[in-house]
């Protein structure tokens, strides 16, 4: 039997990123297929190609063995493909039935028969246990129910291939359980469901097949029954960088950053960091490994004063900074290289010189600190560009036009030039090429050799192992244990990233070797 869907050799290139590099994906009938990968691995691009929003540069799409080409979403829908985006596409002050029929060509010769549509919605709702009331207004429904309305829209349009982009990102744990049950019942009658995610336990719970993407390439396609969370984690984050960097042995100094019993909530108000304790000493790199979305970003944001602390304390050089402003923290010489280079770390349309002083404007001002000291800024920006080898036509060049690697050098360089006591670095090399990675790693180790502490959050195991003196593994908002770099084998870290405690993980490894 032909697979329901096949994507073959899909290539999609954006200005300076190869988002899909001969990616392939095969989905069978009655199957829930998970597409797994870190942020930036090319998952969303691939789904947009499938849904007709992007035109691929190469490759073909086959449905039931027949080649199809889409130039619009409308055509994709006509071929039975339906997609649910992370942000729902619902009209908030319309009822469910109005939302479902929106955009459909009328069946009754232009007459809108909502009662007929409502009857069908109720039928479908009962059949798949969706619990959707056709006459409810969207604005009165919880997020979980709104998502089921989106599913209803696809069922009503008789979609045979359902794509859900990060469907659980906005749901509470209880709603997640309900959604996974629904997906199971949908993958019947020849339908296929594709879920795009980076949450491993959900995959293990619901998926039949898993395709792992990394750097735009298909790494593997495995059956759920023949794999494990640990193996999936490893395939997702493992990156073969033939870089070996020499870390000199150093005696670590006094504790610099001390975090105790930290609790932080995410944007939805759920506790996402649940009691983290950690200490970064002078002259050491402390790594936090883990799959994205286990609370690392929120932890770091709360350390930098960009997110309120729910409970617990943060101390920097023996001063309590739990509730200090970002500016007060930078006075303590606690600096941060954020993961989101374009959204947080830089101001896209401003030039390099303006970005070079972000965070230290007061040091580059004159005349009672009212005016920018432009000569000083220019000299400093030039020094930054030269010292960190930022490839740019000049300092009056917009930051948004720099490639990812050069932008990261600008941000990291800026923070290093501020002479940090402690540097928090999040995903410093995500999406960068080998040359840039080598440069960034070297710079980070140099900071360490000057006796400064570094807290490195990374989903790249290779990076963590090469740079860190101690490694913490984070899962579901907690630290699962501390490893030395030589202990941090792919297998052990993989098990811990999947939620196993350090003793369990080591025991499991011991069995494997015994």
Own/partner long-range contacts of 137-143 (Cβ < 8 Å, ≥24 apart) = 137/92, 137/93, 137/94, 137/95, 137/96, 138/90, 138/91, 138/92, 138/93, 138/94, 138/95, 138/96, 138/99, 139/92, 139/93, 141/96, 142/175, 143/170, 143/171, 143/175
Q: Of 396 and 449, which has the nearer Cβ to another protein?
A: 396
| Four-residue CA torsion sign, 511, 469, 294, 166 | negative
Q: Of 86 and 361, which has the nearer Cβ to another protein?
A: 361
409: left (phi over 0), alpha (psi -120 to 50) or beta: alpha
Calculate Rg over the CA atoms of the chain: 25
**Distances from the Cα of 63 to the Cαs of 26, 78, 444, in angstroms?**
10, 12, 48
Residues 421-450 that bind another protein (CB under 8 A): none
Q: Of 51 and 336, which has the nearer Cβ to another protein?
A: 336
d(CA 70, CA 23): 18
Residue 13 interacting with another protein (CB under 8 A): no
Q: Judged by CB under 8 A, which of 108, 173, 269, 343 binds another protein?
A: 343
Assess contact for 333 and 422: CB atoms under 8 A.
yes
Q: Of 131 and 326, which has the nearer Cβ to another protein?
A: 326
DSSP line for 352-370: HHHHHTTT-GGGGEETTTT
Q: Judged by CB under 8 A, which of 26, 311, 365, 509 binds another protein?
A: 365
> Minimal distance in Å, beta carbon 327 to another protein?
4
Task: Identify the bridge partners of residue 425 per DSSP, sorted by sequence position.
Answer: 337, 456
Q: Of 134 and 405, which has the nearer Cβ to another protein?
A: 405
> Minimal distance in Å, beta carbon 55 to another protein?
14
Q: Of 62 and 372, which has the nearer Cβ to another protein?
A: 372
Query: 335 phi and psi, to 5 degrees?
Result: -120, 165
> Minimal distance in Å, beta carbon 10 to another protein?
22
Residue 219 interacting with another protein (CB under 8 A): no
Assess contact for 138 and 94: CB atoms under 8 A.
yes
Assess contact for 276 and 259: CB atoms under 8 A.
yes
Residue 18 interacting with another protein (CB under 8 A): no
> Minimal distance in Å, beta carbon 302 to another protein?
13
Q: Judged by CB under 8 A, which of 79, 116, 401, 421 binds another protein?
A: 401
Q: Of 2 and 361, which has the nearer Cβ to another protein?
A: 361
Task: Identify the bridge partners of residue 457 per DSSP, sorted by sequence position.
Answer: 288, 426
Q: Judged by CB under 8 A, which of 28, 238, 398, 451 binds another protein?
A: 398
Residue 350 interacting with another protein (CB under 8 A): yes
Count of residues that bind another protein according to CB under 8 A? 33
Residues 291-330 that bind another protein (CB under 8 A): 304, 306, 325-327, 330
The residues that touch another protein, with contacts defined as CB under 8 A, are: 15, 304, 306, 325-327, 330, 336, 338, 343-350, 354, 357-362, 365, 369-372, 374, 398, 400-401
């Amino acid at each position: 039997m032909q697979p329901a869907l096949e994507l073959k050799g899909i290539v999609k290139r954006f200005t300076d990123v190869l988002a899909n590099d001969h990616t392939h994906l095969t989905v069978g009938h009655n199957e829930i297929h998970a597409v797994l990968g870190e942020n930036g691995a090319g998952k969303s691009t691939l789904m947009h190609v499938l849904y007709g929003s992007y035109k691929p540069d190469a490759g073909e799409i086959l449905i039931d063995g027949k080649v199809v080409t889409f130039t619009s979403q409308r055509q994709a829908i006509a071929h039975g493909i339906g997609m649910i985006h992370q942000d729902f596409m619902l009209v908030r002050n319309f009822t469910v039935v109005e939302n479902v029929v929106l955009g459909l060509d009328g069946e009754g010769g232009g007459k809108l028969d909502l009662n007929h549509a409502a009857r069908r919605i109720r039928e479908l709702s009962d059949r798949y246990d969706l619990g959707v009331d056709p006459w409810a207004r969207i604005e009165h429904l919880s997020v979980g129910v709104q998502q089921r309305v989106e599913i209803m829209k696809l069922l009503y349009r008789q979609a045979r291939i359902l794509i859900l982009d990060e469907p659980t990102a906005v749901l509470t744990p209880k709603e997640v359980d309900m959604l996974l049950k629904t997906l199971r019942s949908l993958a019947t009658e020849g339908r296929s469901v594709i879920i795009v995610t980076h949450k491993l336990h959900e995959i293990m719970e619901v998926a039949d097949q898993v395709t792992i993407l990394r750097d735009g390439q298909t790494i593997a396609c495995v059956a759920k029954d023949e794999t494990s969370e640990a193996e999936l984690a490893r395939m997702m984050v493992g990156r073969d960088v033939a870089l070996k960097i020499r870390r000199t042995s150093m005696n670590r100094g006094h504790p610099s950053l001390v975090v105790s019993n930290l609790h932080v909530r995410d944007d939805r108000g759920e506790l996402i960091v649940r009691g983290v304790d950690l200490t970064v000493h002078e002259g050491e790199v402390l790594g936090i490994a883990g799959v994205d979305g286990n609370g690392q970003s929120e932890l770091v944001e709360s350390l930098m004063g960009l997110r309120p602390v729910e409970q617990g304390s943060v101390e920097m050089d023996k001063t309590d900074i739990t509730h200090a402003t970002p500016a007060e923290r930078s006075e303590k010489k606690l600096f941060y290289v954020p993961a989101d280079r374009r959204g947080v770390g830089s101001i896209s349309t401003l030039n390099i010189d303006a970005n070079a002083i972000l965070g230290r404007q007061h040091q580059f001002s004159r005349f009672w600190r009212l005016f920018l000291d432009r000569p000083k800024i220019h000299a400093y920006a030039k020094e930054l560009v030269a010292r960190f080898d930022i490839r740019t036509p000049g300092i009056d060049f917009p930051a948004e036009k720099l490639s990812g690697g050069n932008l990261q050098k600008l941000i990291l360089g800026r923070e290093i030039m501020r002479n940090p006591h402690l540097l928090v670095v999040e995903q410093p090399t995500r999406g960068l090429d080998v040359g840039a990675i080598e440069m960034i790693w070297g710079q980070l180790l140099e900071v360490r050799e000057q006796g400064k502490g570094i807290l490195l959050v990374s989903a790249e195991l290779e990076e963590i192992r090469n740079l860190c003196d101690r490694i913490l593994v984070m899962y579901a908002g907690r630290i699962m244990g501390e490893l030395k770099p030589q202990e941090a084998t792919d297998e052990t870290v993989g098990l811990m990233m999947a939620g196993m405690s350090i003793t369990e993980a080591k025991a499991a490894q011991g069995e494997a070797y015994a």
